[in-house]
Amino acid sequence: MNPALRPRPIFIVSDGTGETAEKVVRAGLLQFRGYLVHLQLFPTITEGDELESIILRAHKEDALLVTTLVRTEMRTLATELAEKHRIRMVDLLGNLLGTLGRYLGVQPQGVPGRMHQTDADYFRRVEAVEFTVKADDGKEPRLLRKADIILVGVSRTSKTPLSVFLALKGFRVSNVPIVLDQQPPAELHRLDQRRVFGLTIDPESLRDIRRERLETMRVASRTNYDDMDYILAELEWCEDIFRHHPEWPVIDVTRRAVEETAANILRIMGERGLGRDVGEVGQL
């Protein structure tokens, strides 16, 4: 078997959930092609004997070891055992915690699981998700004034997934669909216009997305939903609404990940003095 096609094991060891390490590893793997890997997650590892057992297994399977251990003694033990058994190891937190400690002038507390506490921020994110579900697709126009962020765009411009992503960061989000020849709700014009964002998309990409949606729903394409002439008219109508509201930033979501679009929105919110500290999505 070609070595490039043989799955290579990567062990992810954490004293928390391991989500941080997994995301970093997956991000790194995107830079490689033609290689198969098998990720195995070992969360909530807080005892030395557990750690040693995993490292012995890593030695046996010739695995790469990636760790996010916040306790100094556990990181030290991992390093010693990895050197003893000649295991390749990447410590994702050690250098960062050390540098942060020197920069801030304090020592890290070394308490696992801090990112997943049920504190005030956690409950704020839960409340934001509940709000966003209620306010999805313009179902509750009366909620627009209570929203931190309002997304406006035609159908299938990622309004709902983007709303949920932002809600997981603690923002109450409402989204308003733009329908051809219909004016948006009057409530949209009575709120803080700095919080409104327009979403647009390339017509061909929109047609492909809508066709895929119809196929998923097993609906015959007998409507104008994926008709190019209708899509062009719909986007032109939407763009005309955007032109009448120059204070709304318009973001093109064509072939953009939700995370990238959300980052742009949060950057603009920050520039407008409307931002806040946001939590990690995985905290929920």
Domains of the chain: 3-116 (3.40.50.10050), 120-283 (3.40.50)
At CA 91, angle to CA 114 and CA 17, rounded to 5? 35
pLDDT of residue 115: 59
pLDDT of residue 116: 56
Q: Among all chains, which residue has been given the structure tokens 């966003």?
A: 132
> What is the mean pLDDT of each successive set of 10 residues along the chain, which is 284 residues long?
72 92 92 90 95 96 95 94 96 89 86 63 87 93 95 96 94 96 94 97 96 83 85 97 97 95 95 74 39
Q: Are 203 and 232 in contact (CB under 8 A)?
A: yes
pLDDT of residue 113: 63
Q: How far apart are CA 192 and CA 184, in angstroms?
A: 15
Rg of the chain on CA atoms, in Å: 24
Q: Measuring CA to CA, which residue among 188, 181, 120 is closest to residue 149? A: 188
Q: Measuring CA to CA, which residue among 87, 86, 2 is closest to residue 36? A: 2
Which residues, other chains included, contact 146 with Cβ-Cβ below 8 Å and sequence gap of 6+? Answer: 131, 172
Half-sphere exposure of 265 (CA within 13 A, CB side): 31
pLDDT of residue 98: 85
Which residues, other chains included, contact 41 with Cβ-Cβ below 8 Å and sequence gap of 6+? Answer: 12, 14, 18, 22
pLDDT of residue 284: 33
pLDDT of residue 215: 85
Length of the chain: 284
Q: How far apart are CA 90 and CA 195, in angstroms?
A: 41
Q: How far apart are CA 210 and CA 227, in angstroms?
A: 9
pTM listed for this prediction: 0.69
Q: How far apart are CA 189 and CA 109, in angstroms?
A: 48
Q: Measuring CA to CA, which residue among 142, 167, 162, 165 is closest to residue 152? A: 162
Instruction: Name the amino acid, one letter, at 37.
Output: V
Q: Among all chains, which residue has been given the structure tokens 């500290």?
A: 277
